[in-house]
Structure formats: C-alpha cells, structure tokens
Amino acid sequence: MTWSIAGTLTVLPALDHPELLAEPVAKALAALDGADRVGVAAIDPDLADTAEFCAAYGSPLDASANCVVVLGKRGGDEKLAACLVMATTRADVNGLARRTIAVRKASFAPMDRAVAETGMAYGGITPIGLPAGWPLLIDAAVAAAPEVVIGSGLRGSKLLVPGDVLAGVPGAVVLDDLGRSPE
C-alpha cells in the first residue's frame, strides 16, 4: 500500500513485523478485519510525541490521531475507556465522552494506570489491542480519514491505518464532535 502521509518513514506491513508492536497490539491486529491494510514504521522513541514525530519525519499533523485513556466515575464505580481524535483537536472528555460512557465525572487516567491496564507504553497507547470490554470512542473525522498515523503500543514505532479499519475495531463507537478545536 502507498501511504501519502508517510513522509520519510519506511512503512512495512504491520502483520509481518510484530516486533514493532506491543504484545496486545500484535495479538489484536492479527484478528482485526482489514489488518492487511495496516502499516508500521520504526521511529526514534525520543520522537514519539505527535508534534516531534511530525516535525522529524515529515508526516502531516492533520493526519495523526491521538488515543487518550479516560477514567470515569459514578458513585463508587470506575470505568476506563479510550478516545481517539485527530491530533489537531482535543477529546471532549467532560462532555460527549463522559455522557457516552455513562459516568458522572471523567478525566484523563493517571499515566501509571493507563500503562498498567493497557500493557502499552505511555505515549504509544493505541486503540488496537485495548482491554476487552473497554469502550473505544472514535471521532467521526478519524473514521472518515483515508489514512492516519497512530501509536503502536510502543514509543519506537507508529501504525499507519485507514480510518475505516479503526472504525471496525471491536467495541468502537464513532461519534460526531468527539474531537474539539483546542481553545
């Protein structure tokens, strides 16, 4: 597959390179419809944060998507979920995400908890391979994108994925306006 968003990356078929993926990502990818259309590229782990990655590799910021882990609470119950939004936006955690996962209060999950629960590296958490039962909220702009760059579960690589493949991840719910313009 030819990737218009790859910049200077060398993109390889993700299914053929599990060594570039966190273990839960590799397992989930193997069972995902459309996985043959997913690419992976090795990167410098010090450049994994979106802005630095885009600047270093020439991949457009508006073709990157960020996955954030949300911790919701209602009474004494807690619920974890993930939101995937374009990197040029911010997840509406306290509005749409909170209402969709039916909690009273929502915030970003603490880093150590997000890492422990997902089995992925902070700064590389991705929607493919999240724990079973977690809601995955995907902004409609991500689902409609022909291709986006996301984490691989590790800081040393990135996945390149068509939006429709992400929309097909088990547990995914596509929502309009989940990603909001930064204020």
**pTM, entire model:** 0.95
Give tens-digit pLDDT for 120-160: 999 999 999 999 999 999 999 999 999 999 999 999 999 99
Q: Can you read off the two tokens belonging to residue 49?
A: 């944060």
Name residue 80's amino acid: L
How far from the centroid of its chain's Cα atoms is residue 166's Cα?
A: 9
pLDDT for residue 92: 95
DSSP 135: -
Which regions in the chain score pLDDT beneath 70?
A: none
pLDDT for residue 174: 98
pLDDT for residue 144: 98
Residues in Cβ contact with 95 at an 8 Å cutoff, skipping those fewer than 6 apart: none
pLDDT for residue 44: 97
pLDDT for residue 33: 95
The CATH number assigned to the domain with range 12-180 reads: 3.90.960.10
**How much is the mean pLDDT over the chain?**
96
- Please report, to the nearest 10 degrees, the dihedral formed by the alpha carbons of residues 127, 129, 131, 137 taken in order: 20
Rounded Cα distance between 33 and 166, Å, is 10
pLDDT for residue 1: 76
Boundaries of every domain in the chain? 12-180
Give tens-digit pLDDT for 87-99: 999 999 999 999 9
pLDDT for residue 2: 84
